[in-house]
């Protein structure tokens, strides 16, 4: 241990401790001055009587205690400075990878060189891939001229299959094949994923520009790209574009195969292609997260120097060795500055202990900033009312307890469906939590019922107010005195403003709680199947129910159109319209 010192890495963690040599030097000077023998008053005694009046002093009686005091003080200061020459061996945190499925829904995917067509075969391959059980949480993106997240990362493969079946070319709002926008959306979805994960790109054709963008993305990212080609070498004509032929580019594929972070898998008639992809993902599911290295990760070896200090301190109980007690006032002055309010609290307490002290004082926000462990930090955020931060931190932990705690945070956010999913995961990973999960699910259901009742009461009140308003207008028409009442300019202006200046889309990015009540209030613009010529104000409850289309494809189409109008207004249309 101490015999293998790396002198190139040797340093002191707390070099400011060497300032303590200043009081040590002052004490040494005072001791030397105080023990100097005064001979002037001895001259008053006769020289004959001096040998009988005075004993000869042993010089070591002064020198030895002072010397040991200096050695002990210097050794203790060096120990307090924290000598270190090697890093601590801290095990990394185990985190799970995910897989993001990106499906090309452009018009060229309707080519029939692969039966029944490329897009339908891609849906079959998604089902086969999930049946092969890659064991990773999966997400789904559909892209053409724009890219749209369909599902976030979830372990429910049945849900992904259900939505993948509804993906068609007609639901995409913009034609083309915009790979840069796909990579941008994929990078956003994978931003919170710290484990090296996989992007499964299912497309039929890659251009030279696409290959360059994929290579650049893979070089700047920790994630791996799997490409499943859904076309034949000879290709086929694109429906609606008889003069355009979509086929594989052998040169582009050869260049991509040289990139080790990109794997190209050719299409097979059986499940060998997606089976091999699922096997590679499953093999690299769990990763060891490297901890961030800083000064606190050095192994402090100062405790080794405490043994000689303690050995010398034992002599302080001998007669004439009280010199060591001069350290008591200095030590007392130093210890008065210990605590959380000191300039350097890290000298006295660890970060987690500081956070616990603040949590005991119910200062949870400050405690969350001090905690280093994610679980303790998440608990502090939860008690502070920051449920979003708590849920995000617990999502990084794959244990059943963390999933259960995340479900509790999601309930406070009004995200009841996600909370149920988190409780289910917690029950599967830790069977001992089944009783708590059952109780929490019951409370979640009651909370959602209360939210639904408030929504129903709000919509009923809105309908009643609209009905009363209509009756008041009819009553005004029957009053002959009010029939010819002129309208003021101000009143007419406010009316026009209310009708014509209303924004078409609200800003939901700033919503802190995406509960069912909020979503109900945001449904202000009617769906396509509502009669626009109807004079009677439609019931708000009916409008919300009519927006949930029976066909999932229609629901995704309207959702993609809304996203395109909100986020992709200024994206230029692709020259390639297939």
Burial (CB count <10 Å: 0-12, 13-18, 19+), residue 37: exposed
Say which range, 46-55, 241-250, 307-316, 422-431, has the weakest mean pLDDT.
46-55
For residue 514, which phi and psi values (nearest 5 degrees)? -95, 65
Contacts with 577 (C-beta within 8 Å, 6 or more apart), sequence order: 107, 175, 176, 241
Which of the four pLDDT bands, split at 50, 70 and 90, describes residue 274?
Answer: very high
Cis status, amide bond into 100, omega within 30 of 0: no
Task: Give me the pLDDT at residue 480, please.
Answer: 43
Residue 489 has pLDDT above 50, yes or no: no
Mean pLDDT, rounded, of the chain: 76
Segment 198-234, tens digit of pLDDT: 999 999 888 888 889 999 998 899 999 999 989 888 8
| 365-394 burial code (b ≥16 CB/10 A, e <16) | ebbbebbeeebbbbbbbbebebbebbbbbb
- How far are the Cα atoms of 32, 149, 161, 226, 578 from residue 223, in angstroms, in the given order? 69, 18, 24, 10, 28
Cα(276)–Cα(265) distance, integer angstroms: 9
Cα(286)–Cα(62) distance, integer angstroms: 66
Q: Are 200 and 153 in contact (CB under 8 A)?
A: no
Quick one: three-class SS letters along 445-506? Answer: HHHHHHHHHHHHHHHHHHHHHHHHHHHHHHHHHHCHHHHCCCCCHHHHHHHHHHHHCCCCCC
Segment 122-140, tens digit of pLDDT: 999 999 999 999 989 999 9
Task: Give me the pLDDT at residue 98, please.
Answer: 92
Q: Are 321 and 315 in contact (CB under 8 A)?
A: yes
Say which range, 322-331, 363-372, 544-553, has the weakest mean pLDDT.
544-553
Which of the four pLDDT bands, split at 50, 70 and 90, describes residue 537?
Answer: very low
Residues, the chain, total? 578
How many degrees, rounded to 5, is the angle at CA 201 between CA 199 and CA 204?
Answer: 170
Farthest-apart Cα atoms in the chain, separation: 143
Cα(454)–Cα(541) distance, integer angstroms: 12
How many degrees, rounded to 5, is the angle at CA 429 between CA 428 and CA 432?
Answer: 85
Task: Give me the pLDDT at residue 257, please.
Answer: 83
Segment 361-375, tens digit of pLDDT: 888 888 888 888 888
Q: Name the strands in the sheet holding 147-154, side by side, starting at the edge strand that comes first in the sequence.
A: 147-154, 137-143, 98-104, 198-203, 224-229, 262-265
0.75 exceeded by the pTM? Answer: no
Q: Which residues pair with 139 in a beta bridge?
A: 100
Cα(193)–Cα(516) distance, integer angstroms: 28
Q: Which of 185, 191, 187 is nearest to 563 (CA)?
A: 185
Q: Which of 300, 398, 297, 303 is nearest to 90 (CA)?
A: 297
Which of the four pLDDT bands, split at 50, 70 and 90, describes residue 96?
Answer: confident
């Amino acid at each position: 241990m101490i015999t293998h010192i790396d002198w190139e890495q040797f340093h002191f963690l707390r070099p400011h401790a060497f300032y303590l040599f200043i009081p040590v030097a002052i004490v040494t000077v005072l001791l030397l001055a105080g023990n100097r023998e005064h001979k002037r008053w001895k001259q008053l005694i006769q020289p004959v009587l001096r040998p009988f009046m005075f004993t000869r002093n042993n010089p070591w009686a002064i020198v030895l205690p002072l010397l040991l005091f200096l050695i002990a003080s210097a050794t203790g200061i060096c120990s307090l400075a924290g000598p270190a020459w090697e890093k601590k061996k801290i095990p990394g945190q185990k985190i799970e990878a995910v897989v993001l499925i990106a499906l090309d829904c452009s018009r060229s995917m309707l080519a029939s060189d692969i039966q029944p067509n490329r897009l339908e075969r891609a849906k079959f391959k998604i089902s086969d891939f999930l049946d092969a059980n890659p064991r990773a949480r999966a997400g789904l993106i559909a892209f053409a001229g724009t890219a749209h997240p369909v599902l976030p990362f979830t372990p429910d493969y049945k849900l992904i299959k259900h939505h993948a079946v509804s993906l068609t070319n007609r639901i995409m709002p913009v034609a083309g094949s915009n790979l840069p926008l796909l990579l941008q959306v994929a990078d956003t979805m994978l931003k919170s994923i710290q484990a090296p994960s996989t992007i499964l790109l299912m497309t039929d054709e890659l251009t030279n520009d696409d290959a360059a963008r994929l290579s650049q993305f893979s070089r700047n990212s920790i994630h791996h790209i799997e490409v499943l080609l859904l076309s034949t070498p000879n290709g086929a004509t694109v429906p609606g574009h008889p003069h355009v032929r979509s086929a594989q580019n052998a040169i582009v594929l050869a260049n991509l195969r040289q990139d080790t972070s990109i794997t190209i898998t050719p299409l097979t008639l059986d499940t060998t292609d997606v089976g091999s992809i699922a096997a590679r993902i499953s093999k690299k599911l769990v990763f060891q997260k490297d901890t961030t290295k800083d000064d606190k990760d050095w192994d402090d070896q100062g405790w080794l120097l405490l043994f000689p200090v303690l050995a010398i301190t034992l002599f302080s109980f001998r007669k004439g060795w009280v010199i060591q007690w001069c350290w008591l006032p200095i030590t007392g002055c130093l210890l008065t500055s210990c605590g959380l309010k000191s300039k350097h609290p890290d000298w006295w307490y660890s970060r987690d202990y500081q956070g616990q002290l603040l949590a005991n004082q119910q200062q949870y926000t400050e405690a969350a900033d001090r905690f280093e462990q994610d679980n303790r930090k998440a608990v502090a955020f939860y008690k502070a009312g920051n449920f979003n931060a708590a849920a995000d931190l617990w999502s990084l932990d794959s244990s059943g307890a963390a999933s259960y705690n995340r479900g509790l945070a999601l309930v406070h956010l009004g995200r009841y469906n996600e909370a149920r999913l988190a409780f289910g995961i917690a029950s599967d990973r830790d069977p001992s939590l089944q009783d708590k999960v059952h109780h929490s699910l019951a409370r979640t259901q009651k909370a959602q019922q209360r939210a639904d009742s408030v929504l129903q009461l709000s919509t009923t009140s809105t309908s009643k107010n609209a009905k009363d308003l209509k009756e008041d207008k009819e009553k005004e028409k029957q009053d002959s005195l009010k029939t010819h009442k002129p309208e003021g300019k101000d009143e007419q202006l406010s009316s026009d403003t209310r009708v014509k200046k209303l924004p078409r889309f609200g800003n939901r990015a700033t919503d802190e709680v995406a509960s069912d009540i909020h979503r109900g209030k945001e449904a202000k613009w009617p769906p396509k199947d509502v009669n626009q010529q109807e004079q009677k104000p439609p019931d708000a409850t009916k409008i919300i129910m009519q927006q949930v289309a029976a066909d999932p494809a229609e629901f995704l189409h309207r959702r993609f159109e809304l996203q395109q109008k909100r986020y992709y207004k200024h994206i230029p249309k692709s020259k390639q319209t297939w």
